[in-house]
């Protein structure tokens, strides 16, 4: 079997860096992309702001408490999308096997590459240099023989990182890796791992496949493989949209049933409009609720029929809402999404969607 050469490119503080690039007065200052009002949320934070503990998905009020001189700027999604396209033009100079994960990160399979460069690390260096010279932005790159390790490597030396994990180093590297840094392990799973005495890759590798499946379900098999440096997923160039969703941060926390139903109705109406515009068809409806203390839950239901219209989606959303106790736990945010397109019904795909759902938290 040919050993793959995979690169993961991740732009450093992408939205905030674009704003600092385009406005010299913002350079070197703590910056948040988002809105500063009471119900605002930080969409992205510069590294200067991160030193104070400011993070994406944090409430604007908390961010300002942590960093009183934090500067807020509104997001410009059309600009970020245009810059992302420029970055991908650079990627295509080396390979057409590109799997975007978001506007600011992607996997590249450079096993066979257009310039014929033998070492993937040299390609990563060139890509980083071209992004800096042409776009005045900074990227981190991870290189390895599979996606899991390339992703881990790109996070290892941020910002402006470059890290290669060779096959003969992989097991030792994974052994030392904190369990929180494993791709697909979010806060909830990390807490459960800790309760089981699993704190790093070495601890995880010591558990049997049967134990991990019993504790974590089908995802346990993925954790089992990851702990051994195994990830057979290819870099996929065809991206199929897996879900359409929308969410509303409310002007005030609510716990009155009539108010919650009204907000749920408005969210469902917006969702139906998005489904129609994108011509998206799916069978699973997910309700997301974020409470006043920023804790959150999701509830899902899958139907045999496609979820397209308000008269189908709204009753299901109300059914899911019945599973949520909010009378003593006021609601701050309501979200709805439709996922699980029929052509993506394979079991493996659904497992990975669940993984990504946990750590992206709908906020990426």
pLDDT in tens, 322-339: 999 998 899 999 999 998
pLDDT class of 239 with cuts at 50, 70, 90: low
- At 153-188, the pLDDT tens digits run 999 888 999 999 999 999 999 999 999 999 888 888
pLDDT in tens, 209-222: 999 999 998 899 99
> How many Cβ atoms from other residues are within 10 Å of residue 244's Cβ?
22
Of 363, 314, 364, the residue nearest 338 (C-alpha): 314
- Segment 293-316 shows an average pLDDT of 90
Identify which of 125, 77, 117, 65 has the alpha carbon closest to the alpha carbon of residue 94.
117
pLDDT over threshold 70, residue 129: yes
Query: Which residues does residue 301 pair with via DSSP β-bridges, in sequence order?
Result: 285
Question: What is the average per-residue pLDDT within 70-74?
Answer: 96
Digit-coded pLDDT (tens) for 271-290: 999 999 888 889 999 999 99
Q: In this structure, are residues 354 and 314 in contact, taking their beta carbons and an 8 Å threshold? A: no
Instruction: Indicate which residues carry an active-site annotation.
Output: 105
E-strand stretches of the chain: 6-11, 31-34, 42-45, 71-73, 98-102, 105-109, 139-144, 162-164, 243-254, 284-291, 296-302, 331-339
pTM over 0.75: no
Instruction: Give residue-wise pLDDT tens across range 7-65.
Output: 999 999 999 999 999 999 999 999 999 988 877 889 899 999 999 999 988 889 999 99
Contact present, 339 and 298 (Cβ < 8 Å): no
Tell me which of 34-38, 199-203, 352-356 is least confident. 352-356
Query: Which domains, from first to last, does the chain contain?
Result: 1-165 (3.30.70.270), 170-227 (1.10.150.20), 243-360 (3.30.1490.100)
Mean pLDDT of the chain: 89
**Is 342 or 175 the better-scoring residue by pLDDT?**
175
Q: Which residues of 128-164 are buried (b: 16+ CB within 10 A; e: fewer)?
A: bebbeeebebbbbbbbbbbbbbbbbbbebebeebbbb
Percent of the chain with pLDDT over 70: 92
The token pair that represents 271 in the structure block: 């969702």
- How many Å is the Cα radius of gyration of the chain? 21
Least confident of 142-151, 255-264, 297-306: 297-306
Could you tell me the pLDDT band of residue 342, with boundaries at 50, 70 and 90?
low
Segment 190-211 shows an average pLDDT of 96
Beta bridge partners of 8: 107, 142
pLDDT at residue number 142: 97
pLDDT at 361 over 80: no
* Angstrom distance (rounded) from CA 282 to CA 137: 37
Say what the pLDDT of residue 22 is. Answer: 97
Reported as a pLDDT band with limits 50, 70 and 90, residue 360 is: very low
What is the C-alpha to C-alpha distance for residues 197 and 212, in angstroms, rounded to an integer? 13
DSSP 179: G
| pLDDT in the model for residue 352 | 37
Measured over the CA atoms of residue 212, residue 216, residue 221 and residue 224, the dihedral's sign is negative
Cα of first residue to Cα of last residue in the chain, in angstroms, is 35
Q: pLDDT category, 234, cuts 50, 70, 90?
A: very high
Q: Check residue 220 and give its pLDDT.
A: 94
Give the span between the Cα atoms of 116 and 347, in whole angstroms: 37
């Amino acid at each position: 079997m040919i050993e793959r050469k995979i690169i993961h490119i991740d732009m450093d503080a992408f939205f905030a860096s674009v704003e600092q690039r385009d406005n010299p007065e913002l350079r070197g200052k703590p910056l948040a992309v988002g809105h500063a009002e009471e119900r605002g949320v930080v969409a992205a934070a510069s590294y200067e702001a991160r030193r104070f503990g400011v993070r994406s998905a944090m409430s604007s009020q908390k961010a300002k408490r942590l960093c009183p001189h934090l500067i807020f700027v509104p997001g410009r999604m059309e600009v970020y999308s245009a810059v992302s396209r420029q970055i991908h033009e650079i990627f295509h100079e080396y390979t057409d096997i590109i799997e975007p994960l978001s506007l600011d990160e992607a996997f590249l399979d450079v096993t066979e590459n257009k310039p014929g460069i033998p070492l993937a690390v040299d390609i990563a260096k060139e890509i980083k240099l071209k992004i800096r010279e042409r776009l005045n932005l900074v990227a981190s790159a991870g290189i390895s023989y599979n996606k899991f390790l390339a992703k881990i490597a790109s996070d290892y030396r941020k910002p402006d990182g470059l890290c290669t994990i060779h096959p003969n180093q992989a097991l030792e590297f994974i052994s030392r890796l904190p369990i929180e840094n494993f791709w697909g392990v979010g806060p909830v799973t990390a807490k459960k791992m800790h309760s089981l005495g699993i704190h790093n890759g070495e601890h995880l590798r010591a558990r049997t496949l049967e134990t991990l499946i019993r504790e974590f379900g089908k995802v346990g098999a993925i954790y089992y493989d990851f702990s051994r440096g195994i990830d057979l997923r290819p870099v996929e160039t065809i991206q199929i949209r897996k879900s359409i969703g929308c969410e509303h941060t409310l002007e005030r926390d609510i716990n009155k049933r009539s108010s919650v139903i009204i907000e749920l109705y408005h969210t469902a109406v917006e969702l139906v409009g998005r489904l129609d515009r994108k011509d998206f068809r799916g069978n699973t409806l997910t309700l997301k609720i974020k409470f006043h203390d920023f804790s959150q839950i999701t509830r899902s239901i899958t139907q045999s029929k496609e979820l397209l219209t308000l008269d189908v989606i709204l009753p299901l959303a109300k059914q899911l809402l019945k599973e949520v106790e909010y009378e003593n736990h006021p609601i701050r945010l309501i979200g709805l999404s439709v996922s699980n397109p029929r052509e993506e019904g394979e079991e493996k795909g659904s497992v990975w969607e669940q993984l990504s759902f946990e750590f992206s938290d709908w906020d990426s």
